[in-house]
Chain A
Amino acid sequence: MKQGLKNTSLIVAAAVAAMGMVSTSALAQDGKSITTVVKISGIPWFDRMETGVKKFAEANPNMDITQVGPSTADSAQQLQIINDLVAKGTDALAVVPMDPAIIEGILKRAMDRGTIVVTHEADNQKNTMVDVEAFDNAFYGASMNERLAECMGGEGKWTTFVGSLGSRTHMQWVGAGEENAAKYPGMELVDPNNESFDDANLTYDKAKELLRKHPDLKGFQSSAGNDVLGIGRAIEEAGLAGKVCLVGTGLPNPSAAYLDSGAITAIGFWDPQKAGMAMNSVAKTLLAGGEIVDGMDLGVEGYEKVSVKPGPGDGLLVFGNGMVLADKDTYKDYLF
């Protein structure tokens, strides 16, 4: 059924693209155009990214820089938008793919036509020139754990949550966390890798159970975006805010109440504003015929000294140092 839907939208997309080619052949500006295509428009994460794209546009007034995205989390709609943009002849695409596999074909066609293609959050995308990642996963996991260890005073029982055991990045994060914790002989990992399925309610129940099983549990390291909300609520309701440490991936706005109450020690994330600017910066360099090399400065905070590795296809993987760990005192700088 879903496949059928996708096919239909493919046909629609092709029709729209064809019409686009016939009617508006020129999107000719003085400068070149860079279009950022996000997963969903209108949600806080990508609204925040748009502020970065706008900043970049202000800094480069001679270029035509915009952000677009589908209104729902639907990879077929995103494909349609990219199709349309390629047909209209945008000079560079900066894509945050909903599903990398779905758009491989259109990205290849875009590159064949001479369009610059940059991606983000898609280190398995084959048809891209440069995929920009905010950070190295191992470094991120280790940093969160270091913050947790600091809060726990380097000793006590701690446990970990992942979205699911099949989630590659989450397993990398907690794996790196475990390695980091090995530095502290006093830290004892108990019942690790609990699955949260990114469901705050389920996470809440599991966190309560863990706290009951280990009354002396001192720390949680969590991975999926909703985990801190479920664990935070369990800690807060148990009156343990400030006594049990919780460091995990989360967004500042939803977590604000729990950060203020002390139920969440710190949240880790990357700032989509900076990621959007970094993607556009890479696209601009490539449009000017430049090269992306190891150690270069993208001119964006957190991406001053990027490391470059070969990607899964012909393109490059670029890692920044764009991780942010925000606590009670600092989260207000990143309200999104």
Chain B
Amino acid sequence: MTMVQDMPDTSIPTPHESPRPTIGALFRRRPELVSLAILIAICVIVASINPAFLQPSSLIDMGRASVVTGLFALGVFAILAAGGIDVSFPAIAALTMYSATLFVINVWPTAPMALVVVSTVVGGAALGALNGWMVHTLKVPSLIVTVGTQYLFRGILLAFIGTVWLMELPPQMIAFGKAPLLEFQSGNGVTVTLPMYFLVFPAAALLTWFMFNKTLMGRAIFATGGNADVAERLGYNQRIVHIFVFAFTGALAGMAGIIHVCANRMANPFDLMGIEIEVIAAVVLGGARITGGTGTVFGTITGVLLITVVNNSLVLVGIPSTWQRVVVGAFILLAAAFFVKRSHKS
């Protein structure tokens, strides 16, 4: 529970809290606990329908599947906290991962993996900073700016860099995607592997938590998301806040992109299209308000796990593929309705 953020949020009035808080009040104060409760409920239901869900292999698969969504979600959380929104991160990830892979294949086949990762992170941060600079300078809503740059980045990728799928990755990238953190044989002779790159997700979560809770920048971001004018009068430099927060998201997107390529063992420039909806849904389910200024890292992780579990247990439960999208959609609507109701009450 140390991951819970103390919300410096002025929009939720707290005076009429009773001395002995009821469960309802607790949920209102800590919306991420609602998601956690839903997550636990779903796990119990799935496990009771099909106990195979509780195998270590299934938990490991879900841990692995949550990495890319999780990195994206931490970035979106940061931007929502600052009162903005970003839909360009999948394009940033695609552009950086494809360019880096192409460069390694054609120019420098022996490039060390650490350098490849750093270059995608820096590249992502640069593209993100461009978003932030435009949001600040043009004084245009960040949704508009990032819808624009999303087309721009994807367009540059397809028009100038390449449309061909890269199937033969250099060996160091394949090794990075395969390196096991944990490997064992399950009962029926199936090898289960938790890859090393999984660690990137908790590491990034810790970093994000640290930034929001222990640094001045974190306070500045929440203040900006709460009320930008007030934050400016308090002396927080809006330009730096905007550029920083979008660059942070871009950097996480770059990291997610290169992990996606290495895990997948191919670089497809058309990949990751449309993932933004799922990621934003995860962050909102994690208790962050789409209007900004609130949210916690813990909630974001809960939201990511929720989406991952729902996406990875429908077959296990036996819902035919025709119905899977219906279930996911209904589920998001239900949770969203709950959160809207909560914010009306408070």
User: What CA separation (Å) do A238 and B61 show in the bound complex?
Assistant: 11
Q: Is residue B322 within 8 Å, beta carbon to beta carbon, of the partner chain?
A: yes
Q: Are B191 and A43 in contact, with the CB atoms below 8 A? A: no
Complex Cα distance A253/B164, Å? 13
Which residues of A sit under 8 angstroms from B311, Cβ to Cβ? 205
Within 8 A of A (CB), among B290-330: 311-313, 315-316, 318, 320-322, 324
Name B209-264 residues within 8 Å CB distance of A: 260, 263-264
Q: How large is the interface on B (under 10, 10 to 19, 20 to 34, 35 or more residues)?
A: 35 or more
- B119 interfacial contact with A, CB 8 Å: no
Could you tell me if B189 and A239 are in contact, using CB atoms closer than 8 angstroms?
A: yes
Q: Tell whether, in the assembled complex, residue B190 and residue A215 are in contact, meaning their CB atoms are under 8 Å apart.
A: yes
Whether B164 lies near A43 (C-beta < 8 A) is yes
Decide if B158 touches A195 in the complex (CB within 8 Å): no
- B315 A209 Cβ-Cβ under 8 A: yes
Chain B residues lying within 8 Å of A157, measured Cβ to Cβ, are none
Number of A interface residues in the complex (CB < 8 A): 34
Q: List the B side residues contacting A40 at CB < 8 Å.
A: 163
Q: Which of B50-58, B70-78, B100-108, B335-343 contacts A (4 or more CB under 8 A)?
A: B50-58
Closest approach, in angstroms, between the C-beta of B157 and any C-beta of chain A? 11
B266 and A42 form a contact (CB under 8 A): no
Within 8 A of B (CB), among A190-221: 191, 193-195, 199-201, 204-206, 208-213, 215-216
Q: Are B260 and A201 in contact (CB under 8 A)?
A: yes
Interface residues of B in 262-283 (CB under 8 A from A): 263-266, 268, 271
Contacting pair A43 B163 (CB below 8 A): yes
Q: Kindly list chain A residues whose C-beta atoms are within 8 Å of the C-beta of B193.
A: 237
Assess A195 versus B264: contact at CB under 8 Å? Given A43-B164, A212-B316.
no
Contact residues in B for A191 (Cβ distance below 8 Å): 315, 318, 320-321
A194: nearest residue on chain B (CB-CB)? B321
A254–B165 Cα gap in the complex (Å)? 9
Known: A193-B321, A205-B312, A212-B316. 13 other contacts (CB 8 A): A43-B163, A72-B159, A73-B163, A200-B264, A200-B268, A205-B65, A206-B315, A209-B61, A209-B313, A211-B190, A212-B52, A233-B264, A239-B191
A residues adjacent to B (C-beta < 8 A): 40, 42-44, 72-73, 165, 191, 193-195, 199-201, 204-206, 208-213, 215-216, 229, 233, 237-240, 243, 253-254
Query: Which residues from chain B sit less than 8 Å from chain A, CB to CB?
Result: 50, 52, 55, 57-58, 61, 65, 158-159, 163-165, 167, 185, 187-193, 260, 263-266, 268, 271, 311-313, 315-316, 318, 320-322, 324
